[in-house]
Chains A and B, each alone.
Chain A
Amino acid sequence: MSSVTQKQPLSDGPDWSFELLGQYQAEIDRVAKLYKLDTYPNQIEVITAEQMMDAYSSVGMPIGYNHWSYGKKFIQTEQNYKRGFMGLAYEIVINSNPCIAYLMEENTMTMQALVMAHACYGHNSFFKNNYLFRTWTDASSIIDYLVFAKQYLSHCEEKYGISEVEDMLDSCHALMNYGVDRYKRPQKISMDEEQKRQKDREAYLQSQVNQLWRTIPNKGDLSAEHEYRFPSEPQENILYFIEKNAPLLKPWQREVVRIVRKISQYFYPQKQTQVMNEGWATFWHYTILQHLYQENLVTDKFILEVLHNHTNVVYQPEYHSKYYSGINPYALGFAMFTDLRRICEQPTAEDKEWFPDIAGSNWLETLHFAMQNFKDESFISQYLSPKVIRDFHLFAITDDDRESTLEVSAIHNAEGYQQIRQTLSAQYNLSNIEPNIQVYSADITGDRSLTLRFIPNQRIPLADNFQQVLKHVHRLWGFNVQLEQLNDDGTVKLLGSCPL
Chain B
Amino acid sequence: MAHFIDRRLNGKNKSAVNRQRFIRRYKQQIKQAVSDAISKRSVTDINSGEKVSIPGKDITEPFFHQGQGGHRERVHPGNDQFSTGDKIKRPQGGQGSGSGQGDASADGEGEDEFVFSISKDEYLDLLFEDLELPNLKKNQLDKLVQYKNVRAGFRSEGVPTNIDIVRSLQGSLARRVAMTAGKKRELHELQAQLARIEAEPVPDQHQLMALREQIALLEKRIDAVPFIDSFDLRFRNFQKRPEPTSKAVMFCLMDVSGSMDQATKDMAKRFYILLYMFLSRSYKNVDVVYIRHHTQAKEVDEQEFFYSQETGGTIVSSALKMMADIIKDRYDPAEWNIYAAQASDGDNWADDSPQCADLLAQQILPFVRYYAYIEITPRPHQSLWLEYEKLQQSFDNFAIQPIRQVADIYPVFRELFKKQAA
Chain A residues proximal to chain B, CB less than 8 Å: 18, 21-22, 25, 29, 41-48, 50-51, 53-54, 57-58, 66-72, 74-76, 78-79, 102, 105, 120, 162, 166, 170, 173-178, 316-321, 324-329, 392-402, 404-413, 415-416, 420, 423-424, 426-428, 433-435, 437, 456-466, 468-469, 472
Docked Cα-Cα span, A233 to B154, in Å, equals 102
Out of B3, B25, B64, B104, name the residue touching A166 (CB < 8 Å): B25
- A392-B21 in contact given A46-B6, A400-B71 (Cβ < 8 Å): no
Q: Are B18 and A71 within 8 A (Cβ)?
A: yes
Q: Would you give the shortest CB distance from B299 to chain A, in whole angstroms?
A: 40
Q: Are B20 and A51 within 8 A (Cβ)?
A: no
- A44-B4 in contact given A328-B100, A461-B70 (Cβ < 8 Å): yes
Binds A, one of B79-87, B216-224, B283-291: B79-87
Docked Cα-Cα span, A461 to B65, in Å, equals 9
Chain B residues near A71 (CB, 8 Å)? 15, 17-23
Q: Are A409 and B84 within 8 A (Cβ)?
A: yes
- A396-B75 in contact given A45-B7, A71-B20 (Cβ < 8 Å): yes
Q: Are B24 and A469 within 8 A (Cβ)?
A: no
Chain B residues proximal to chain A, CB less than 8 Å: 1-8, 10, 12, 14-15, 17-26, 59-80, 82-90, 95-104, 108-109, 114-117
Out of A50, A401, A408, A416, name the residue touching B88 (CB < 8 Å): A408
Docked Cα-Cα span, A170 to B19, in Å, equals 16
Out of B3, B69, B116, name the residue touching A401 (CB < 8 Å): B69
Docked Cα-Cα span, A246 to B409, in Å, equals 48
Interface centre among A66, A72, A325 (most CB of B within 10 A): A72
Chain B residues near A428 (CB, 8 Å)? 101
Q: Are A318 and B80 within 8 A (Cβ)?
A: yes
Q: Beyond the given A42-B3, A324-B97, please list 8 additional residue pairs across the A-B interface where CB-CB is below 8 A.
A: A43-B5, A44-B2, A45-B5, A51-B12, A71-B19, A71-B22, A178-B64, A423-B75
Closest to A318 in B: B78
Q: Are A319 and B97 within 8 A (Cβ)?
A: yes
Chain B residues near A320 (CB, 8 Å)? 78, 80
A-B contact pairs, 18 of them (CB 8 A): A29-B2, A46-B7, A47-B10, A53-B15, A173-B63, A177-B63, A178-B64, A326-B99, A393-B77, A399-B95, A405-B90, A406-B88, A407-B88, A408-B82, A433-B101, A435-B64, A463-B104, A469-B63
Interface centre among A47, A69, A120, A177 (most CB of B within 10 A): A69
Q: Are B116 and A397 within 8 A (Cβ)?
A: no
Q: Are A177 and B64 within 8 A (Cβ)?
A: yes
Docked Cα-Cα span, A8 to B191, in Å, equals 91
Q: Are A47 and B63 within 8 A (Cβ)?
A: no
Out of A67, A68, A405, A409, name the residue touching B89 (CB < 8 Å): A405
Out of B8, B64, B102, B109, name the residue touching A51 (CB < 8 Å): B8
Q: Are A461 and B12 within 8 A (Cβ)?
A: no
Chain A residues near B12 (CB, 8 Å)? 48, 50-51
Docked Cα-Cα span, A74 to B17, in Å, equals 11
Chain B residues near A43 (CB, 8 Å)? 2-3, 5
Out of A48, A404, A411, A460, name the residue touching B90 (CB < 8 Å): A404
Q: Would you give the shortest CB distance from A80 to chain B, in whole angstroms?
A: 11
Chain A residues near B23 (CB, 8 Å)? 71
Q: Are A469 and B66 within 8 A (Cβ)?
A: no
Docked Cα-Cα span, A420 to B76, in Å, equals 10
Docked Cα-Cα span, A435 to B6, in Å, equals 43
Out of A120, A424, A466, name the residue touching B2 (CB < 8 Å): A120
Q: Are A74 and B88 within 8 A (Cβ)?
A: no
Out of B67, B74, B85, B98, name the residue touching A463 (CB < 8 Å): B67
Q: Would you give the shortest CB distance from B71 to chain A, in whole angstroms?
A: 4
Interface centre among B82, B85, B114, B117 (most CB of A within 10 A): B82
Docked Cα-Cα span, A53 to B18, in Å, equals 13
Out of A41, A318, A411, A427, name the residue touching B74 (CB < 8 Å): A427
Q: Are B78 and A74 within 8 A (Cβ)?
A: no
Docked Cα-Cα span, A58 to B19, in Å, equals 12
Chain B residues near A177 (CB, 8 Å)? 63-64
Docked Cα-Cα span, A458 to B84, in Å, equals 22
- A458-B65 in contact given A394-B79, A406-B88 (Cβ < 8 Å): no
Q: Would you give the shortest CB distance from A461 to chain B, in whole angstroms?
A: 5
Docked Cα-Cα span, A458 to B74, in Å, equals 13
Out of B3, B79, B87, B97, name the residue touching A325 (CB < 8 Å): B97
Q: Would you give the shortest CB distance from B222 to chain A, in whole angstroms?
A: 78
Chain A residues near B88 (CB, 8 Å)? 397, 405-408
Out of B1, B67, B80, name the residue touching A462 (CB < 8 Å): B67
Chain B residues near A318 (CB, 8 Å)? 77-78, 80
Q: Are A397 and B102 within 8 A (Cβ)?
A: no
Docked Cα-Cα span, A43 to B6, in Å, equals 11
Chain B residues near A166 (CB, 8 Å)? 21, 25
Q: Are A397 and B96 within 8 A (Cβ)?
A: yes
Closest to A238 in B: B64
Q: Would you give the shortest CB distance from A2 to chain B, in whole angstroms?
A: 25
Docked Cα-Cα span, A435 to B65, in Å, equals 6
Chain B residues near A469 (CB, 8 Å)? 62-64
Q: Would you give the shortest CB distance from B66 to chain A, in whole angstroms?
A: 5
Closest to B26 in A: A68
Docked Cα-Cα span, A397 to B91, in Å, equals 12
Q: Are A44 and B3 within 8 A (Cβ)?
A: yes
Docked Cα-Cα span, A141 to B24, in Å, equals 33
Q: Are A70 and B15 within 8 A (Cβ)?
A: yes
Out of A50, A69, A75, A400, name the residue touching B61 (CB < 8 Å): A69
Q: Are B73 and A426 within 8 A (Cβ)?
A: yes
Q: Are B98 and A462 within 8 A (Cβ)?
A: no
Closest to A63 in B: B14
- A319-B18 in contact given A120-B2, A463-B65 (Cβ < 8 Å): no
Interface centre among A105, A170, A405, A408 (most CB of B within 10 A): A408
Docked Cα-Cα span, A371 to B99, in Å, equals 24
Docked Cα-Cα span, A44 to B1, in Å, equals 11
Q: Are B77 and A392 within 8 A (Cβ)?
A: yes
Out of A46, A72, A120, A460, name the residue touching B5 (CB < 8 Å): A46
Q: Are A51 and B14 within 8 A (Cβ)?
A: yes
Q: Are B15 and A57 within 8 A (Cβ)?
A: yes
Chain A residues near B72 (CB, 8 Å)? 398-400, 458, 460
Chain A residues near B17 (CB, 8 Å)? 66, 71
Q: Are A42 and B70 within 8 A (Cβ)?
A: no
Chain A residues near B19 (CB, 8 Å)? 71, 74-75
Chain B residues near A459 (CB, 8 Å)? 69-71
Closest to A324 in B: B97
- A427-B21 in contact given A393-B80, A460-B66 (Cβ < 8 Å): no
Q: Are B102 and A326 within 8 A (Cβ)?
A: yes
Docked Cα-Cα span, A41 to B3, in Å, equals 8
Q: Are A408 and B85 within 8 A (Cβ)?
A: yes
- A401-B15 in contact given A408-B85, A408-B86 (Cβ < 8 Å): no
Q: Report, nearest first, the 6 A-B pairs whose CB atoms are least far apart.
A: A318-B78, A326-B100, A71-B22, A460-B70, A71-B18, A42-B2
Q: Are A396 and B100 within 8 A (Cβ)?
A: no
Chain B residues near A173 (CB, 8 Å)? 61, 63
Docked Cα-Cα span, A117 to B389, in Å, equals 81
Chain A residues near B65 (CB, 8 Å)? 434-435, 462-463, 465
Q: Would you give the shortest CB distance from A216 to chain B, in whole angstroms?
A: 34
Docked Cα-Cα span, A21 to B2, in Å, equals 11
Q: Would you give the shortest CB distance from A486 to chain B, in whole angstroms?
A: 14
